[in-house]
Amino acid sequence: MKNEEQARFLFGISLSDRPTWQQFLICTSGFFFGYLVNGVCEEYVYNRLQFSFGWYFTFIQGFVYLFLIYLQGFSTKHIVNPMRTYVKLSAVLMGSHGLTKGSLAYLNYPAQIMFKSTKVLPVMIMGAFIPGLRRKYPVHEYISAFLLVLGLILFTLADAQMSPNFSMIGIMMITGALIMDAFLGNLQEAIFTMNPETTQMEMLFCSTVVGLPFLFVPMVLTGEVFRAWTACAQHPYVYGVLVFEAMATFIGQVSVLSLIALFGAATTALITTARKGVTLLLSYLIFTKPLTEQHGSGLILIAMGIVLKMVPMDSKPLTKIPARPMVRISGGEGDREEEEERKSLV
């Protein structure tokens, strides 16, 4: 667990004075609830209504976030980091959301799941290059992630009633979203690590405020803002669905940030990947659909990946690459290393 000395709360529930398993259970419960509702709403808007305005919908979602953050009692006086810290983070956050939502116009469900389920691997790899983290994971954690990803892909393909539909534009969009996701979780963890006083609400507020202007460029250049405005004006109830989805996703987002602050980006990515498998499995249990051998193989691989992640090894589960020797410059400039790590985040 990370930053044990820092008090953490999740919607008024104290996390810091609870054992690790309770912290994990509370955070994952909020995440699962938020993104299960998110999945249902996205299915309705994108597949039933055939609306594919990812940038515009992300823009609307951002304003709902800001209103909900205000209701939580957060204000700018609670900000402990300079706003420039969140420029890189906001750019990849909004880019990831917009590209992910927009890709649904070009990829069907099985194809998108196949790509998104690989998220945990680039997150782990990118952690070794993010200033302030320099994470290095043991081999068994990479194997665990690979088993989880492979199992989920097998289960998804068995569940698909149609073959994955690959569109070059959709592949480019979802690949861009994966690259941004690899930076996103690690940048969030780096900010929590460099300044443990950072709260989840500050992270979400600042990344949203700084990130909203980034959405204007793709919305205007693609003409999506005009098409979306016209389509939603003809179906105004869509805004109700979007607000409801944003409220649920807000719970999921804050829960994810809590997981990142307490357990790290890679562990959180494993949880978000496993969530896809749990969602598919629940659909079979609730609607009593038949399970095939391929479903069973996928579930076995998913279980193997989760168990391998949980089994303690002789080596530490997460290590930092040793930092460079601290350099002290004569002439009163002081220590450069920590300052360089902080500057690289902004």
Separation CA 116–CA 180 (nearest Å): 12
Which residues lie across from 185 on neighbouring strands?
A: none
Residue 296 lies in a domain: yes
pLDDT at residue 323 in the model: 44
d(CA 199, CA 176): 28
pTM beyond 0.75: the answer is no
pLDDT at 133 over 80: no
Per the domain annotation, does 77 fall within a domain?
A: yes
The per-residue pLDDT of the chain, averaged, comes to 75
What three-state secondary structure class fits 319? Answer: strand
In this structure, which long-range contacts are made by residues 249-253, counting pairs with CB atoms below 8 Å and at least 24 apart in sequence?
249/34, 249/35, 249/37, 249/38, 249/61, 250/34, 250/64, 250/65, 250/68, 250/204, 251/11, 251/30, 251/33, 251/34, 252/30, 252/31, 252/32, 252/33, 252/34, 252/35, 252/38, 253/34, 253/65, 253/204
Q: Which amino acid is at 312?
A: P
The answer to whether position 321 is within a domain reads no
pLDDT, residue 132, reads 59
Residue 224: the pLDDT is 83
The tens digit of pLDDT for each residue in 167-220 reads 778 778 888 888 888 888 788 888 888 888 888 899 889 888 888 888 888 888
Q: In the chain, what percentage of residues exceed pLDDT 90?
A: 3
Query: In the structure, what pLDDT confidence band is assigned to residue 110 with cuts at 50, 70 and 90?
Result: low
Counted residue by residue, the chain has a size of 346
Using one digit for the tens of pLDDT, what is the confidence trace for 293-325? 777 787 788 777 767 766 655 544 444 444 444
pLDDT per residue over 220-273, tens digit each?
A: 888 888 888 888 888 888 888 889 988 998 998 899 888 888 888 777 877 777
What span, in angstroms and rounded, lies between the C-alpha atoms of 322 and 26? 33
The pLDDT value recorded for residue 339 is 55
- Domain of residue 292, residue span: 21-311
> What would the mean pLDDT of 109-125 be, rounded to a whole number?
70
Q: Output the pLDDT for position 330.
A: 44
Residue at 337 is within a domain: no
Q: How many other CB atoms are there within 10 angstroms of residue 310's CB atom?
A: 9
The structural domain count of the chain equals: 1
**pLDDT at residue number 319:** 47
**Per the domain annotation, does 251 fall within a domain?**
yes
pLDDT of residue 327: 45
61 versus 119: which is more confidently predicted?
61
Question: Is residue 48 in some structural domain?
Answer: yes
Q: What is the pLDDT of residue 188?
A: 83
Q: Is 3 a member of any domain?
A: no
pLDDT band at 153; cut points 50, 70, 90: confident
In a domain, 129, yes or no: yes
Range scoring the smallest mean pLDDT among 17-31, 112-126, 260-274? 112-126
pLDDT category at 287 given cuts 50, 70, 90 is low
> How far is it, in rounded angstroms, from Cα 335 to Cα 104?
48
What single letter denotes the amino acid at residue 4?
E
Residue 42: CB atoms within 10 A of its CB come to: 19
> Measuring CA to CA, which residue among 78, 103, 265 is closest to residue 188?
265
